[in-house]
Amino acid sequence: MNRTFILLIMFTSFSWANNADDEMHLSHEGHLHEEMVDGEKLEVDPERFDRFVENLKNMQVAVVNVHGIVCDFCAQGIQRTFEKDINVKKIDVDLRNGKVLVAYAREENINFDDIKQKILINGQNAVGMKIIIL
């Protein structure tokens, strides 16, 4: 019953698609849900995400789904590339779930093609992105 209730809330609160410009608003009272009603998996470690956004205000987070992150060296390359971008406020790589979390100012226009290019020059592939408004 509780699961059904949660799923209904998720269904009405979030929308998830492969469209790179998808956005959703996150209530920090809870965690990111791990799976959407349509079966699409978000798979962001809730604790990791909460730590990431702990001191972030008026920002947006791009949760990028990346293929090919299999070791720390992959993660390091991605982290260093994004850290060179002055528009990036914070970056974290979730090695376990193959996700890259990138924080930008709320007014920043996040360009998925630019993110894909940053991932690609390190040898991995960005295959999807979700923008979460904090």
Partner 1 sequence: MGNRFIVIIICLVPLGLDARPISYSGGSTLMVLTDNMKDSVYYHYSPSYKYSIGIENINDKVFDNNYSYARFTYLLDRKNTEYSQRNLYFQSGISLKGLNNHFYGIHGDWETRRWFSGFGVKQVINKIKNYKEQYYQLGIAPYLGDYGDFHTWIMIKTKQNSLDNKWSTYPVLKFFKGNVLLEFGYNTDTEWDAHLMYRF
- Return the structure tokens found at 27: 């209530």
**What burial letters (b/e) apply to 109-118, b meaning 16+ CB within 10 Å?**
ebebeebbeb
Q: Which of 37, 68, 90, 134 binds partner 1 (CB under 8 A)?
A: 68
R_g (Cα) of the chain, nearest Å: 14
- Shortest Å distance, C-beta 123 to partner 1: 4
Q: Which of 9, 36, 95, 134 binds partner 1 (CB under 8 A)?
A: 95
Q: Which stretch binds partner 1 (CB under 8 A): 17-25, 32-40, 50-58, 87-95?
A: 87-95
d(CA 31, CA 19): 22
Q: Which of 32, 93, 102, 110 binds partner 1 (CB under 8 A)?
A: 93
Q: Is 60 in the site for partner 1 (CB under 8 A)?
A: no
d(CA 134, CA 61): 7
Q: Which stretch binds partner 1 (CB under 8 A): 4-12, 49-57, 90-98, 103-111?
A: 90-98
Q: Is 123 in the site for partner 1 (CB under 8 A)?
A: yes
Give the interface with partner 1 as residue ranges (CB under 8 A).
Answer: 67-68, 70-78, 80-81, 93-96, 98, 121-125
